[in-house]
Structure 1
Amino acid sequence: MSYRLSRFASLVLGSALSVTTLFGAGELDKVMKERGLTQADLLAAAKTYTPSGGRDKYIVFSSGGQSGQIMVYGVPSMRILKYIGVFTPEPWQGWGYDDDTKKILAQGNIRGKQITWGDTHHPALSETAGKYDGKWLVINDKANPRLAVIDLADFVTKQIVVNPVFKSDHGGAFFTPNSEYILEACQYAAPFDNNYHPIEEYKETYRGGVTVWKFDHEKGKIIPEESFTIEMPPYMQDLSDSGKAASNGWGFTNSFNSEMYTGGIEKGLPPFEAGMSRNDTDFLHMYNWKKLAELAKDDKNVKIINGHRVIPMNVAIKNDALFLIPEPKSPHGVDVSPDGKSIVVCGKLDTHATVYDFDKLMKAIKNKDYVGKDPYGIPILDLKKTMHCQAELGLGPLHNQYGKNWKDGEIYTSLYVDSQVVKWNYKTCKVEDRQNVNYNIGHLCGMEGKSADPQGDYIIALNKLAIDRFNEIGPLHPQNHQLIDIRGKKMQLLYDMPVPLGEPHQAVAIRASKLHTHVRYKMGTNAFTGEVHEGKTLAGQEKIVRKGNHVYVYGTVVRSHINPERVTVNKGDIVTFYLTNLERAQDETHGFTVDNYNIHTSLEPGKTVAATFKADMEGVFPYYCTEFCSALHLEMMGYLMVKDPNKKYTAAKKLKMAAMSPEQLKKEYEQTVAVNNATDKVIQSVVKFLKDNHYEKYPTVKALVVDALDQYGKIAEQKKKSDAAVKAGDLEKAILFENMIWQYMVKTADVGIRAKDLLVKKVAKPMSEAAKRGETAYLEGGCNGCHVIGKVSSGPDLTGVLQRHENGEQWVAEWIMHPEKMYENDYIKSMINYFNLKMPNQGMTEQQTKDIIEYLKWIDENANLF
Structure 2
Amino acid sequence: MIKKYLHIMCYVTLGFLFVTQTVLAESQFQEIMKKRGLTEEDAIAALKVYNPSGKHDEYYVFVGGGQSGQVLVYGVPSMRPLKYIGVFTPEPWQGYGFDTDSKEVLRQGNVRGREINWGDTHHPALSETDGKYDGEYLFINDKANTRIAVIDLKYFETSQIVVNPIFKSTHGGAFVTPNTEYVLDTCQYAAPLTNDYYPIEAYQDVYRGGVTFWKFDRQKGKIQQKESFSLEFPPYMQDLTDLGKGVSEGWAFTNSINSELYTGGIEKGLPPFEAGCSRNDTDFLHIYNWKKLAQLAKDDKNIKIINGHRVIPIDVAVKNSVLFLVPENKSPHGVDVSPDGRHIIVSGKLDTHASVYDFNKIMKLIQNRDFEGKDSYGIPILDMKKSLYGQVEVGLGHLHNTFGKEDGTIYSSMYVDSQVVKWNYKELKVIDKIGIHYNVGHLEAMEGKSADPQGEYLIAINKLAIDRFLPVGPLHPQNNQLIDIGGKKMKLLLDMPIPLGEPHQGASIRASKIRPEVRFIMGTNSRTGKPHVGKTLAGQEKIERKGNHVSIYATVVRSHINPERVTVNKGDHVTMYITNVERAQDETHGFTIDHYNVHTSLEPGETTQIDFIADIEGVFPYYCTEFCSALHIEMMGYLLVKDPNKNYEWIQKTKMQSLSPEELQMEYKKIRASNKATDEVIQSLFFFLEEKNYTKYTTVKNLVDDAKDQYAKIDLEREKSAKAYQKNDINNAILFENMIWQYMIKTADSAIRAKDLLINNIATPKSESAKKGEIAFREGGCSGCHVIGKISSGPDLIGVLKRHRNAEQWVAEYVKNPQSKFNEPFMKKMIEFFNLKMPNQNMSDEEIKNIVEYFKWIDENADLF
Same fold (TM over 0.5): yes
**Bigger shift: 750-759 or 232-241?**
750-759
Aligned partners of 1:803 and 1:422: how far apart in 2? 67
Q: How has the CA–CA distance of structure 1 residues 22 and 240 changed in structure 2, closer, same or farther, with 3 Å as cutoff? A: farther
Letter in 2 for 1:425: N
**Which residue number in structure 2 is paired with residue 273 of structure 1?**
274
- Aligned-residue offset at 1:33: 2.4
Aligned partners of 2:258 and 2:19: how far apart in 1? 62
CA RMSD of aligned residues (A): 2.0
* Secondary structure of the corresponding residue to residue 755 of structure 1: helix
- Aligned-residue offset at 1:18: 5.5
Q: How has the CA–CA distance of structure 1 residues 22 and 155 changed in structure 2, closer, same or farther, with 3 Å as cutoff? A: farther
1:165-204 correspondence to structure 2 within 5 Å: 165-204=166-205
- Aligned-residue offset at 1:546: 1.2
**Which residue number in structure 2 is paired with residue 690 of structure 1?**
689
- Aligned-residue offset at 1:320: 1.2
Residues 343-378 of structure 1 show CA distances to partners (whole Å, capped at 9, x for unaligned) of: 111111112221111111111111122222211111
Residues 471-493 of structure 1 show CA distances to partners (whole Å, capped at 9, x for unaligned) of: 11111111111111222222222
Aligned partners of 1:768 and 1:725: how far apart in 2? 56
1:221-620 correspondence to structure 2 within 5 Å: 221-405=222-406, 408-620=407-619
* Secondary structure of the corresponding residue to residue 223 of structure 1: strand
Aligned partners of 1:850 and 1:457: how far apart in 2? 41
Aligned partners of 1:454 and 1:59: how far apart in 2? 14
Letter in 2 for 1:345: V
- Aligned-residue offset at 1:806: 4.1
Aligned partners of 1:701 and 1:733: how far apart in 2? 36
**Which residue number in structure 2 is paired with residue 124 of structure 1?**
125
Aligned partners of 1:515 and 1:835: how far apart in 2? 53
Aligned partners of 1:115 and 1:605: how far apart in 2? 30
**Which residue number in structure 2 is paired with residue 71 of structure 1?**
72
Q: How has the CA–CA distance of structure 1 residues 677 and 389 changed in structure 2, closer, same or farther, with 3 Å as cutoff? A: same
Q: How has the CA–CA distance of structure 1 residues 130 and 17 changed in structure 2, closer, same or farther, with 3 Å as cutoff? A: farther
* Secondary structure of the corresponding residue to residue 525 of structure 2: coil
Letter in 1 for 2:38: L
* Secondary structure of the corresponding residue to residue 524 of structure 2: coil
Mapped contact 2:107–2:115 kept (Cα < 8 A): yes
Q: How has the CA–CA distance of structure 1 residues 484 and 209 changed in structure 2, closer, same or farther, with 3 Å as cutoff? A: same
Letter in 2 for 1:579: I
Q: Could you state the TM-score of these two structures normalised by the residue count of structure 1?
A: 0.95
Mapped contact 2:534–2:578 kept (Cα < 8 A): yes
Mapped contact 2:781–2:841 kept (Cα < 8 A): no
**Which residue number in structure 1 is paired with residue 11 of structure 2?**
none
**Which residue number in structure 1 is paired with residue 789 of structure 2?**
790
Aligned partners of 2:436 and 2:20: how far apart in 1? 31
1:89-104 correspondence to structure 2 within 5 Å: 89-104=90-105
Mapped contact 1:795–1:835 kept (Cα < 8 A): no
* Secondary structure of the corresponding residue to residue 598 of structure 1: coil
* 1:624 and 2:614 correspond: no
Q: How has the CA–CA distance of structure 1 residues 414 and 730 changed in structure 2, closer, same or farther, with 3 Å as cutoff? A: same
Aligned partners of 2:506 and 2:404: how far apart in 1? 16
Aligned partners of 1:494 and 1:818: how far apart in 2? 45
Large movers: runs of 4+ above 6 Å: 820-830
- Aligned-residue offset at 1:301: 0.7
Mapped contact 1:91–1:600 kept (Cα < 8 A): yes
Q: How has the CA–CA distance of structure 1 residues 24 and 57 changed in structure 2, closer, same or farther, with 3 Å as cutoff? A: closer
**Which residue number in structure 2 is paired with residue 732 of structure 1?**
731
Mapped contact 1:561–1:637 kept (Cα < 8 A): yes
* 1:750 and 2:749 correspond: yes
Aligned partners of 2:96 and 2:290: how far apart in 1? 35
* Secondary structure of the corresponding residue to residue 451 of structure 2: coil
Letter in 2 for 1:836: L
Residues 410-465 of structure 1 show CA distances to partners (whole Å, capped at 9, x for unaligned) of: 22112112222222211112222222221111111221111111112211111111
- Aligned-residue offset at 1:830: 6.2
Aligned partners of 2:71 and 2:835: how far apart in 1? 52
Aligned partners of 2:848 and 2:412: how far apart in 1? 50
**Which residue number in structure 1 is paired with residue 652 of structure 2?**
653
Letter in 2 for 1:295: L
Residues 138-185 of structure 1 show CA distances to partners (whole Å, capped at 9, x for unaligned) of: 100000000000111111111100000000111100110000011110
Residues 565-601 of structure 1 show CA distances to partners (whole Å, capped at 9, x for unaligned) of: 2211111111111111111111111111111011111
* Secondary structure of the corresponding residue to residue 635 of structure 1: coil
Mapped contact 2:780–2:841 kept (Cα < 8 A): no
- Aligned-residue offset at 1:822: 6.3
Letter in 1 for 2:864: L
Mapped contact 2:694–2:758 kept (Cα < 8 A): yes
**Bigger shift: 393-402 or 660-669?**
393-402
Q: How has the CA–CA distance of structure 1 residues 684 and 312 changed in structure 2, closer, same or farther, with 3 Å as cutoff? A: same
**Bigger shift: 273-282 or 502-511?**
273-282
Aligned partners of 2:79 and 2:799: how far apart in 1? 42
Aligned partners of 1:850 and 1:348: how far apart in 2? 64
Residues 531-586 of structure 1 show CA distances to partners (whole Å, capped at 9, x for unaligned) of: 22111222222221111111111111111111112211111111111111111111
Letter in 2 for 1:96: G
Aligned partners of 2:612 and 2:317: how far apart in 1? 50
Aligned partners of 2:398 and 2:533: how far apart in 1? 53
Aligned residues: 848
- Aligned-residue offset at 1:837: 3.7
Q: Could you state the TM-score of these two structures normalised by the residue count of structure 2?
A: 0.95
**Which residue number in structure 1 is paired with residue 5 of structure 2?**
none
Aligned partners of 1:436 and 1:603: how far apart in 2? 45
- Aligned-residue offset at 1:843: 5.0
Aligned partners of 2:815 and 2:409: how far apart in 1? 54
Q: How has the CA–CA distance of structure 1 residues 826 and 572 changed in structure 2, closer, same or farther, with 3 Å as cutoff? A: same
**Which residue number in structure 1 is paired with residue 8 of structure 2?**
none
- Aligned-residue offset at 1:732: 0.7
Aligned partners of 1:561 and 1:256: how far apart in 2? 59
- Aligned-residue offset at 1:608: 1.3
Mapped contact 1:715–1:741 kept (Cα < 8 A): yes
Mapped contact 1:448–1:508 kept (Cα < 8 A): yes
Letter in 2 for 1:195: D
Aligned partners of 1:630 and 1:23: how far apart in 2? 42
Aligned partners of 2:771 and 2:413: how far apart in 1? 43
Aligned partners of 1:370 and 1:820: how far apart in 2? 96
Letter in 2 for 1:173: A
Q: How has the CA–CA distance of structure 1 residues 779 and 490 changed in structure 2, closer, same or farther, with 3 Å as cutoff? A: farther
Q: How has the CA–CA distance of structure 1 residues 370 and 768 changed in structure 2, closer, same or farther, with 3 Å as cutoff? A: farther
Aligned partners of 1:848 and 1:383: how far apart in 2? 72
Q: How has the CA–CA distance of structure 1 residues 610 and 281 changed in structure 2, closer, same or farther, with 3 Å as cutoff? A: same
Mapped contact 2:372–2:381 kept (Cα < 8 A): yes
- Aligned-residue offset at 1:409: 1.2
- Aligned-residue offset at 1:388: 1.5
Letter in 1 for 2:666: K
Aligned partners of 2:570 and 2:757: how far apart in 1? 52
- Aligned-residue offset at 1:402: 1.3
Aligned partners of 2:837 and 2:424: how far apart in 1? 66
Q: How has the CA–CA distance of structure 1 residues 459 and 852 changed in structure 2, closer, same or farther, with 3 Å as cutoff? A: farther
Aligned partners of 1:464 and 1:768: how far apart in 2? 50
Aligned partners of 2:793 and 2:440: how far apart in 1? 55
Letter in 1 for 2:289: N
Aligned partners of 1:362 and 1:824: how far apart in 2? 94
**Which residue number in structure 2 is paired with residue 6 of structure 1?**
none
Letter in 1 for 2:327: P
- Aligned-residue offset at 1:766: 2.3
- Aligned-residue offset at 1:21: 4.3
* Secondary structure of the corresponding residue to residue 448 of structure 2: coil
Q: How has the CA–CA distance of structure 1 residues 851 and 454 changed in structure 2, closer, same or farther, with 3 Å as cutoff? A: farther
Residues 784-810 of structure 1 show CA distances to partners (whole Å, capped at 9, x for unaligned) of: 334333333344444344444444444
Q: How has the CA–CA distance of structure 1 residues 163 and 497 changed in structure 2, closer, same or farther, with 3 Å as cutoff? A: same
Mapped contact 2:816–2:840 kept (Cα < 8 A): no
Mapped contact 1:108–1:161 kept (Cα < 8 A): yes
Letter in 1 for 2:196: N
- Aligned-residue offset at 1:293: 0.5
- Aligned-residue offset at 1:396: 1.4
